[in-house]
Structure 1
Amino acid sequence: MFRCRSLLFACLLVVFASAAPAKPKAPPARAYVETSYLVAPKTVGDFALIRSKYDPAAKLAGAGFHYALADQPALVIDVFVYPAGRLDPAKAIADGMVAFRADLAAAVSQGAYTQLRELGDEPFALNGDAAPSPQADNDADAAVLAAIAQSERVHGQKLRLDMHRTSTDMPLFSNGYLFYKQLYYFKVRVSAAQERIARDSFDALADQAARALVPAIHVANVGGCADATIHIDVNDTPEQSAVALVRQATTHMGFNCHGSVKDAGIDGQAGTAEVIEIAYTADDWKSR
C-alpha cells in the first residue's frame, strides 16, 4: 500500500500546512475568495485566443474568452467563466443547467434568436478517455484510488441545439457545455451556420473544443478558501478514514485556492495567457 500511504502523507502535509496558524494569535478571518485570476492560454493546440471580455462593474458575470480553430472559420467558440461558489458538483451542474436554459429563453424573448430547439442533452466528461487508475494491491488501495479518481474527475453536461439568428435569419447549429471546477462555472458555446458544415462534423469539433479549452483555462483563487478543514468520523475504520481524507483533500486541492498571489503562481503567465484579475469583497462570496 506504499503508493496510497505516500499520497495520504502528502495530502496530510498539504492540509495541515494550510490550516496551521502563522502566529500564536489567529488573524481576522479572511474573505473566502479575495481575488480570482482567470487564466486563458493564448494558444491551446490548434485553438487560438482572439479576444477576451470582462466588465469590472459586472464582476459576478465573470469573463468571456473567444477562440478560433485553425482551418475552421465557420466555428464560433466562446468560453464563459463565472463564479459559482463551493457546491456539490452534481447540484452545481443541475442548477447551472436550469440557469443556462433560462438564459436561452431570455435570448429568445429579447429577439436575439428564433426557432430554438433542444435536440437533447447528455452527461459530458472532460477526461472520459483518461488513463485507467493504477492497479490496486488490495481492497483498501482500490477504495483510496477510486476516491482520488472520483474527486479529480470533471463532469459536465452537453446540450445540443438548433436555432435561427434573428439579425441574419441564419439557421445555426449550436452546442452548449457546462462544467464546474475551481469554484467556477465554465460554459462553452460553439455555433456555426448550418450551410457551412455538416451536423456530425460540427458535433465532433464542438466536443473537441470543450475537451481542449476547459482543462486549459483555469482559475487560481486567493483567500481564506486556502484553509482546509477535513472531517473524519471517529467511528470509521482506518480504511474508511483514509478514503474520507483523500476524497476531501483532493476535492479541496481542486478548488485551486492559495494563501497569496505568489503561491498561486500567477507571475510570468501574462506572456502566454490572458490573465483577468477579479477582486471581491467579503460579501461577494458566502460559501465555505
Structure 2
Amino acid sequence: MWRWKAVPLMLGLWAGTVAQAQEVGNGSPGAMPDMTEHRGVVDDTWIVAPKRLPGATLAGVKNYADEGDIAAGVSLRYRIDNAQWIIADVFIYPAGEGDSAAMLRRAAEDFRESVAYAERQQIYRNVWWGDESAYTATLPGGRTVEGRVLPIVFDAQQDMLASRAYLFYRKLYFVKIRLSTTVDAVESLADDADSFIANLLGGVDIVSVGTCGRRMDLVMVPPGQTPPPDLKDGASSDGYRVLLRGGKPGTPAYAAQLAKTMTLAAKRQRASGCTLLDYHPPLEDDTRAVLHLSFGPEDWGTSPKSP
C-alpha cells in the first residue's frame, strides 16, 4: 500500500522503472522495449475534463498547484443546464493506493475535518450533518462505481445552504463532487445528482505516469510455444506482465508485434490510473480542459510491488 504524503516512506522511493525479464523455454531474449526513466512513483498526472457533458457545461477550472498547493489537486465547476441554482463543484486530489473501502473512509474523514476547519474559521456556522451512506454511481454503459454521500446544512455568507458531498476513489485520486443550493431547493439536489455524477465520472479521465510502484514483467516465449494463460493476447489484465514472442529483432514484423503488445499493455495500465510506459496527453481544445500536476520524487511513497 502506498499513500500520498500520509505516512513516512516505507522503503524509500523506487525511482526508475525496473523491467524483470523471464525466459520461457529455450527462446533467447529479444530487444527490450524502451522504458521511460521516472523520478518517482508518480511523476505527472493529467486530468482531462470534458467542457460539455450531457446536461452540464464546464464553467471554470482551478489548478491548486499554481498556488503552491499541489496536494489539493484541481477543481472543476460545472453548470447544470436545467438546475442553474445548483452549484456543482468537483475536486480531484491525490490519494495513493489502498483498499477502496478504507480509502473511502479516509475521504469521508478528510471531508468532515475540512468542514470542522471551516467552522473554526467561522466560514461555516450552524452546521448540521445528515446520515452518511453508501452511494453507487451507474455510469453510461452500465459500469458501477461505489462511493459515499455526506449531506450537510450550514449557514454561509448569510445564506442557509444544503449540500451533498459525493466521495469516490478512482485511479489513485479522490474525487469529491459537491452539489449545493439554498435549503428551499434542497429536493433538486437528489433529483439532479445521479445523472450528473454518472456523466462526470464517465467523462473525466485521470492518467498518472511514473513507476506506479510496480515492476514490468517481460516474458519471452519461443516461436511455436504456447504462451502462459494470462498472456494469450500479449498482456496481462493490468498491463504489467507482457509477452515477447521470439523472433528476429530489427525486422518490421518483430517491431510491429512489439508495438502492438506494448500499446495494449499501456492501455491496460492507464485503465488503473497509472502507467510506467510512454503517455502522450491530449492537448486542450474546444471540447476538453487538460490540467497537469507535476510531482517531485518525494511526493509519493511506496515499496516496489511485483505483478
Residue 279 of structure 2 is aligned to residue 264 of structure 1: yes
> Cα deviations across residues 170-190 of structure 1 (Å, max 9, x unaligned)?
111110011011110000111
CA deviation vs aligned residue, 1:131-163 (integer Å, no higher than 9, x gap): 4xxxxxxxxxxxxxxxxxxxx752110111211
Residues 208 and 121 (structure 1 numbering): CA distance in 2 closer, same or farther, change over 3 Å?
A: farther
CA distance in 1, matches of 2:119, 2:86: 21
Q: Cα offset for 1:253?
A: 5.1
User: Which whole-Å CA distance do the structure 2 matches of 1:87 and 1:227 have between them?
Assistant: 14
2:87 counterpart of 1:100: no
Displacement of 1:69 in angstroms is 0.7
Q: Which residue of 2 aligns with 1:255?
A: 272
For residue 157 of structure 1, what is the aligned residue in structure 2?
148
The equivalent residue for 2:223 is none
RMSD: 3.3
Over residues 20-40 of structure 1, what are the superposed CA-to-partner deviations in whole Å (9 max), with x where a residue is unaligned? 677599987651111000111
Distance 1:25 1:259, change over 3 A: closer
1:78 is matched with which residue? 89
- TM value normalised by structure 1: 0.71
* Rounded Cα–Cα distance in structure 1 between residues aligned with 2:139 and 2:201: 13
Question: Could you say what secondary structure the match of 1:72 adopts?
Answer: coil
- 2:131 aligns to what SS in structure 1? strand
Matched, 1:280 2:295: yes
Distance 1:28 1:203, change over 3 A: closer
* Whole-angstrom CA distance in 1 between matches of 2:72 and 2:291: 13
Larger radius of gyration: 2
Which residue of 2 is the match for residue 180 of structure 1?
A: 169
Q: Identify the residue that residue 145 of structure 1 maps to in structure 2.
A: none
Moved more, 217-226 or 25-34: 25-34
| Correspondence list, 1:58-69, <5 A | 58-69=69-80
TM-score (norm 2): 0.66
User: Which sections of structure 1, spanning at least 5 residues, go unmatched?
Assistant: 1-17, 132-151, 231-237, 240-244
Partner Cα distance (1:201, 1:25) in 2: 52
**The structure with more helix, counted as a fraction of residues:** 1
Q: Give the Å deviation of 1:95.
A: 1.0
Instruction: Give the Cα separation in 2 of the matches to 1:251 and 1:259.
Output: 11
Partner Cα distance (2:276, 2:285) in 1: 20
Corresponding residue number in structure 1 for 2:181: 192
Partner of 2:64: 55
Which one of the candidate residues 181, 205, 222 is aligned to 1:218?
A: 205
Three-state SS of the structure 1 residue aligned to 2:292 is strand
Find the counterpart in structure 2 of residue 144 from structure 1.
none
Secondary structure class of the residue paired with 1:224: coil
Contact 1:38–1:217 (Cα < 8 Å) also in 2: yes
Give the distance between the partners of 2:205 and 2:97, measured in 1 at CA: 16
Which secondary structure state, in structure 2, belongs to the residue aligned with residue 111 of structure 1? coil
Correspondent of 1:43 among 52, 62, 65: 52
Whole-Å Cα distance in 2 between the matches of residues 80 and 185 of structure 1? 8
Q: 1:259 Cα shift?
A: 3.6
Structure 2: runs of 5+ lacking an equivalent: 1-17, 22-30, 218-227, 230-235, 241-266
User: Which structure has more strand as a fraction of its residues?
Assistant: 2
Mapped partners of 1:259, 1:203: distance in 2? 40
User: What number of residue pairs does the alignment pair up?
Assistant: 235
